């Protein structure tokens, strides 16, 4: 993908994400603790209407250890629901980093079989549709994706 798309910058890395169910009565969809090599981040996600350009994510960067944050979330009554380890490669398609194509290799829980997926994000539905079309064409041309199967 990175050879075929015009992009302004790119990043790569890996993290381990732990997901919790939100406390009862909360409007949140989930709480996520992301543990990277050099950072810890707590995210609350809500109001996802199924589209990448209209979701609400509140990120809190922290120097507090991820173990302390995990204990705090357990203490307030949330239940851990999943652990995901991922490696990622993100192509930012514009200089203000509002549109991207991300390639993920994830392992869920204790499974040893990784899964691969591509995520396309943008500010508007039109930008997401346009980038999805471009990425689909590239993947079809490379023999990685078959539209007839999807």
- Alpha helices per DSSP H over the chain: 66-75, 125-141
**pLDDT one-digit tens code per residue, 6-25:** 788 888 999 988 888 777 78
Lowest mean pLDDT among 46-50, 91-95, 131-135: 46-50
pLDDT band, residue 105 (cuts 50/70/90): very high
pTM for this entry: 0.69
**pLDDT one-digit tens code per residue, 39-71:** 888 888 886 666 555 667 788 887 777 677 777
Q: How would you class 109 by CB atoms within 10 Å of its CB: exposed for 0-12, middle for 13-18, buried for 19 or more?
A: exposed
> What sign results for the dihedral spanned by CA atoms 65, 48, 103, 95?
negative
Residue 119 CA to residue 134 CA, distance in Å, equals: 13
- The two structure tokens encoding residue 123: 């500010």
Q: 77 Cβ partners below 8 Å, 6+ apart?
A: 23, 24
């Amino acid at each position: 993908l990175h050879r075929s798309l015009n992009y302004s910058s790119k990043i790569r890395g890996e993290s381990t994400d732990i997901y919790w169910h939100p406390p009862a009565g909360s409007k949140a969809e989930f709480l996520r603790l992301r543990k990277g090599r050099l950072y810890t981040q707590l995210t609350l996600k809500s109001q996802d209407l199924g589209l990448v350009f209209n979701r609400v994510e509140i990120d809190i960067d922290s120097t507090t250890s991820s173990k302390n944050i995990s204990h705090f979330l357990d203490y307030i009554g949330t239940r851990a629901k999943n652990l995901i380890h991922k490696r990622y490669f993100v192509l930012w398609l514009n200089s203000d980093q509002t549109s991207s194509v991300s390639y993920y290799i994830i392992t869920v829980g204790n499974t040893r079989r990784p899964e691969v997926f591509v995520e396309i994000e943008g500010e508007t539905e039109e930008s997401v549709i346009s980038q999805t079309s471009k990425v689909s064409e590239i993947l079809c041309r490379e023999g990685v994706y078959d539209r007839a199967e999807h």
